[in-house]
Each structure stands twice: as C-alpha cells, then as structure tokens.
Amino acid sequence: MIKFSVEFKNRGKWDALTLYIKELGKDGTSSHFILQDAVNTIADKAVEAGRNHISVSKKRPSSGDNLEKAIDKEIISSVGGIEVGIGNIEKLKKIAPYFEVLNDGGYVPPANIGYFTSGSGLSGDITPPASGISGQQWVHTGKERGSFLMKPKKAIEGINYVGKMVSVVQNEFLGLIRSLGNKILGEQIKRIIG
C-alpha cells in the first residue's frame, strides 16, 4: 500500500496550521470531516491516475483489465484522523498476481507452447506470430500440435504506475497544505492590516 507522512520543521507554522484546521469547524462543519473528505479525494485521484496510467501503457490494448479493477482505496482507520491505503497487496496477489512485474519490469517469461490470436475474439482465430504487431494475444495450450513454441527474449518493461500514484498523492497533498497555508497567511494579513 502507498503510505505517506508529513514532517514540519517549523513548530510555529505547524501550530498555525493546527489552529486554522480547528477554526474550519466553527461554522458547524467538523474540521475532522473536512480533512477526511480532502484525504479521500486525494486517494480517489491517485487511484484514477494509476488506473489511467496502466490503461494507456498497455502493449496489448485488448488484454484484460484485472489490475486496474484491483487497484482501489481502502479506509484503514478514521479514528482520530484518517488512514487510507491504496492497493491492498493481498487483493492484488489474488486478482492480478503480475502487479509487481508490470510496475517494476525486468522479468523474462519462460518458454511456452500455445498460439497467437489476432485479438478479434472470434472462435478459431489462430494467427502466426508477427513481429512488431500489437493486439495479438497469446493462448497457452501446453500442446505441441498446431501450436508455436514461444521463447521470450526481452524482459517485460515496467511502467511504474505506483510512482505515478505516489506523485499524485504528493502533489495533491502539497496543494492542500499550500491552500490551507494561504488561508492562514491571508487571515494573518487581514488581522495586521485591518
């Protein structure tokens, strides 16, 4: 799961941010729920970015979307704050066991017996392998008759979808902190001038 933490080096700024967050709830809306909503929104954006990155990075666009479906957010705890996880490892292992390979790359699949299809989905669609053509799908049969022996030579290229999600979390969270900081400074400036 993706986890992140924030460290404040200036205690005064942290105290000002904490005071502002407490002030958020004075209109009857709990600051706790406002911040929970913000964190949930950030997690949703990260999940969407990861799914989109996987979708556009596919070498075979017609292949399944198990990994995209398996990546989601999960509220781990909402007591005293909120803790959200993205990408439950057990769920990923069960639904998309190749999740690490697709992220990191570097794996060369073993030799395999089967056949290629053109990707049309029609019954009996067997086609010889063609170099440089996308959309062909491999069907493992384990039988020699009427099949091809495929010996992969190139390692699978990783697409770093986890890095994409982490980047979204960092950027969105920094944006949230900046917007809260601007509101804090704005209030301080009004008090000084006004």
Residue 192: the pLDDT is: 46
Give yes or no: residues 27 and 55 share one domain: yes
Residue 6 inside a domain? The answer is no
Residue 1 inside a domain? The answer is no
Residue 179: the pLDDT is: 77
Give yes or no: residues 85 and 148 share one domain: no
CA distances from 79 to 33, 101, 169, 176, 187 (A): 11, 35, 21, 21, 29
Q: Is the pTM of this model over 0.85?
A: no
With a cut of 50, list the residues of the chain below it in pLDDT: 189, 192-194
Total domain count, the chain: 2
> Can you tell me the distance from the alpha carbon of 84 to that of 78, in angstroms, rounded to the nearest whole number?
9
Residue 189: the pLDDT is: 47
Give yes or no: residues 36 and 92 share one domain: yes
Residue 3 inside a domain? The answer is no
Domain that holds residue 118: 109-153
Give yes or no: residues 113 and 135 share one domain: yes
Give yes or no: residues 102 and 125 share one domain: no
The pLDDT tens digits for 17-35 are: 666 666 665 665 556 677 7
Residue 5 inside a domain? The answer is no
Residue 185 inside a domain? The answer is yes
Residue 4 inside a domain? The answer is no
**Any residues with CB less than 8 A from the CB of 169 and at least 6 apart, and which?**
2, 4, 42, 43, 46, 86
